[in-house]
């Protein structure tokens, strides 16, 4: 449980700090190159991924809230003793939950989500068309890590069960 709470809390705190800094900058500060390939921008997204549903804010808020509740459910599941999942699954679930709630809380407070990372030289066109934030990265990576942790525990459990029947 500690892994989940710490990883979720770290994402919430880091995202809050970065967004506060980005939003406190005067107009004209962005875009600005952070590295050769990463550009900082300031975009206020009233919709979901890529601005979808910006014209339907209540639906965007409901879907985002549903995703955040799902992420918390995943975190709870990862911490059930009966499942015996690896700690990495609990960390991944915490990252996903922290990222999902960081975006959801900002949407409830400001009715938009601040995005700020643009990968100008990304090889995948999908990544070149989007502006991200730390919470989005935590959600994606957290889900991948949690899935790997759940899957490895499932495979190990199935192998152990099969050997036990011999």
Per-residue pLDDT of 100-115, as tens digits, reads: 999 999 999 999 999 9
Per-residue pLDDT of 131-145, as tens digits, reads: 999 999 999 999 999
What residues contact residue 41 under an 8 Å CB cut-off, 6+ apart? 30, 31, 115, 116, 117, 118, 131
How many degrees, rounded to 5, is the angle at CA 24 between CA 21 and CA 27?
125
* For residue 6, pLDDT beyond 90: yes
Domain boundaries in the chain? Answer: 2-154
Tokens of 85: 């999942």
Residue 125's pLDDT is: 76
Band (pLDDT 50/70/90 cuts) for residue 154 is low
What pTM did the predictor assign? 0.85
* For residue 87, pLDDT beyond 60: yes
Band (pLDDT 50/70/90 cuts) for residue 163 is very low
């Amino acid at each position: 449980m500690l892994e989940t709470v710490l990883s979720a809390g770290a994402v919430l705190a880091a995202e809050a700090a970065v967004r506060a800094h980005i939003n406190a900058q005067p107009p004209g500060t962005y875009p600005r190159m952070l590295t050769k390939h990463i550009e900082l921008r300031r975009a206020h997204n009233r919709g979901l991924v890529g601005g979808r549903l910006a014209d339907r804010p209540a639906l965007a808020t409901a879907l985002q809230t549903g995703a955040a509740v799902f992420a918390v459910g995943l975190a709870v599941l990862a911490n059930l003793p009966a499942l015996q999942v690896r700690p990495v699954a609990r960390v991944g679930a915490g990252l996903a939950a922290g990222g999902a709630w960081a975006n959801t809380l900002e949407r409830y407070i400001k009715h938009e989500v601040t995005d700020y990372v643009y990968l100008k030289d990304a090889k995948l066109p999908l990544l070149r068309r989007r502006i991200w934030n730390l919470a989005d990265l935590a959600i994606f990576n957290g889900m991948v890590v949690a899935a790997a942790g759940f899957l490895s525990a499932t495979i190990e459990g199935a192998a152990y069960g099969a050997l036990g029947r011999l």
